[in-house]
Structure 1
Amino acid sequence: MKKIVLLALILLSVACEKEEKGYSISAETKGFEDGMTVYVNAINQSNRPTIIDSATIKNGKFKISLPVVESNDFNYLTFNGVPQNVLFLAENNPIQMTIYKDSLRSSIIKGGSENQLFFSYLKKMNAFGKEKQELSNQFQIASKLKETDKAAQISAQLQETLKKENNFRKEIAENNPNSLVAVMALTDLLNLKATPAKQIKKIYATVEDSLKTSRLGKNLDRLITASIGKIDIGSEAEDFSAPNPEGKVVSLKESMGKITIIDFWASWCKPCRAENPNVVRVYNKYHDKGLNIIGVSLDRNKDHWTKAISQDNLEWNHVSHLKFWQDPIAKAYGVRSIPATFILDEKGNVIAKNLRGPALETKISELLGEKSL
Structure 2
Amino acid sequence: MKKITTVISATMICLGSYAQTQPQITLQGTITGDLKGHNKMYIYSRTYNDSAIIENGHYTFKIPFKEPVLLMLLPEYILAERQMYRPFGILMDKPVTYTVTTDKTKGLDASTIKGSEAVELLQVYDKQKSAAWQSISAELKKEYGQPWMDEKDPRYAAFEAKQTALQQQYLVPLLQKLVKEHPNSFATVFSLGGARELMSPEQQERLYAGLSPEMKKTKEAKEFQEFTQGLRNSAVGRKVNDFTLPDEKDQSLAFNQFKGKYVLIDFWASWCGPCRQSFPHMREVYQQYKDQNFEIYSISIDKSKADWLKAVGVENNPWKQALDNINIAGKGFAITGVPTTYLISPEGTILLKEVGFNPDGSGEIEKKLAALFGGKANAAGKPAKEEGKTIEATPMVPMVPMQ
Give the TM-score normalised by the residue count of structure 2.
Answer: 0.44
Greater fraction helix: 1
Give the TM-score normalised by the residue count of structure 1.
Answer: 0.47
Which of the pair has more CA radius of gyration?
1
